[in-house]
Chain A
């Protein structure tokens, strides 16, 4: 005859195992317009506080980022792990080094790293949009302010997961199985840069710079950037590239002055 302990132990363990196996949400949730906030929404209501910068004296820093040497070869991305991606974007290429014919370097995040002192800036309410289209993040590099909504859209008829790997900001990972799904996220801490990736499609990645001010720019294929509306002063300007690293320069701008900077990254 079996001892009572054996019977009780086996029953409890079997019950736990069955419960875990049966645990689930039942039918799939059809959320075509889901909105989630993974971080607190921007504080305050009504009209945002005015910018601390006097437009009459604001300065501008512009410039161009170039690449010196033989640029890395642009490789085609292998999309065979998802037939939808193969059909939707057959010509997808890597974009870790986007170099124009004149050596201009794209996807460089240029921003004011230092010099704004204790100035505080209003948080924009307009969202910055990160789209997943053709199994590709658009844009590849972007900037956003603390508390500003980041709207992440799945424009594809396939599943993506949105995985933000912040170090200062909390890591998150959300699934977007339905085409048209949107989610909204805000960041609470300055961080340059936060990598984003899709764990379903390993080639998909993006970079987001989170700042407490609006002075940032991402170079396009022509390599140019523009930081407008700066209060007169001395600033440290940093140019960040995902593979080529960072470079900084110091610039002093007077009232209504425009200064030009050049950054050159080498292989």
Chain B
């Protein structure tokens, strides 16, 4: 049940990111001037009939955020009680601390009238929360716990190239998302009004701060696309029999194609709010798809935390995870597993 619940929490975090995207896309961030109340009502007693105009998006976002926060509280407690791996329990605590911080940042954005830096931090931390909940869902999943398709009996070594390129891709996607958040919250979303050209040229003919941010996001999209193509290509060429890598690699390619399409439509539709918000949440899905691929590419480093025997066929010389990540109690658990 824990894996299923963790997956539910991750999915709800994605829904929350979409709801948050709607708030900015409809300029509803200050439609509810007070926090944590809503026009003087306690959040959960605000009449549904009064969720009109911008209040609908802002208050909905708060309701979903509170729900996700509650789910993460439950997840943290569940992990505390049922998860034997200390580092996974700590992931739960970190996720809880992050979502609490998110709530506070959200309140500050309202009370301080949407300062750009706080709004950008709020958007950026949301992605971290999604990454944390996705990671917890992944490492508590049946596939991770019991080991994926076993490598060949010839002790297939860890693919250092894949580990590195996947990690670089994931980090670059996150940076691209932060640039996108900066673009949204500084009003630069239409600083370049045409697509795919910029003022009719490949490179803008004139610059100001907003055009710089907007063009940086477009350039970042190109870089991210190339990295995803390289990462997925590496997986499909070298690891086509490893389903746990192939699936996220293909998903990444599909999501980034969708993301580019949504980005183009966002500009061409003059930031139609549904398209705009889908672009936000799809960007988050690109990030976690890359994160899943990255974690699975590093799976051998987590071998000590997997179920006993899951990595019996791996070359022990490449299993380096225990020293860097596990405490003494976990080392003992690893030794019990190796001797089983």
A: which residues have CB within 8 A of B? 2-3, 6-7, 9-10, 13-14, 16-18, 20-21, 23-29, 31, 81-84, 158-159, 161, 163, 171, 173-175, 177, 198-202
Q: What is the number of contacts between chain A and chain B, taking CB atoms within 8 Å?
A: 117
Q: How distant is the Cα of A198 from the Cα of B27 in the complex, in angstroms? A: 11
B33 touches A173 (CB 8 A): yes
Query: For B26, B33, B34, B104, which residue has the most chain A Cβ atoms within 10 angstroms?
Result: B33
Contact of A23 among B36, B53, B113 (CB under 8 A): B36
Is the CB–CB distance between B40 and A200 below 8 Å? Answer: no
Q: Smallest Cβ distance from A12 to chain B, in angstroms?
A: 9
Which residues does chain A contribute within 8 Å of B30, judged by CB atoms? 161, 163, 173, 199
Given contacts A17-B69, A28-B40, A199-B27, 20 further A-B contacts (CB under 8 A): A6-B89, A9-B93, A13-B96, A14-B77, A17-B100, A24-B37, A25-B42, A26-B42, A27-B41, A28-B39, A31-B40, A158-B52, A159-B50, A161-B30, A173-B30, A174-B33, A177-B50, A198-B53, A199-B30, A200-B54
With both chains docked as a complex, state the minimum distance between the C-beta of A110 and any C-beta of chain B, in angstroms.
30
Q: Per a CB cutoff under 8 Å, which of B29, B40, B76, B99 touches A177?
A: B40
CA distance A28 to B104 in the complex (A): 22
What's the tally of chain B residues with a CB closer than 8 Å to chain A?
Answer: 45
Say whether, besides A81-B52, A161-B31, A173-B33, A6 and B69 are in contact (CB < 8 Å). Answer: no
B321: CB under 8 A from chain A?
Answer: no
Verify A21–B66 contact, CB threshold 8 A. yes
**Which residues does chain A contribute within 8 Å of B45, judged by CB atoms?**
27-28
**Minimal Cβ-Cβ distance residue in B for A84:** B52
B28 CB contacts on chain A under 8 angstroms:
199-200
Closest residue to B69 on the A side, CB-wise?
A17
B27 — which chain A residues lie within 8 A by C-beta?
Answer: 199, 202
Interface: B70 (CB within 8 A): yes
Shortest Cβ gap from A112 to chain B (Å): 31
Q: Interface code B75-87, partner A: CB below 8 Å = 1, 0 otherwise? A: 0110010000010
Interface string of B44-85 (1 = CB under 8 A from A): 110000101111101000000010011011001100100000
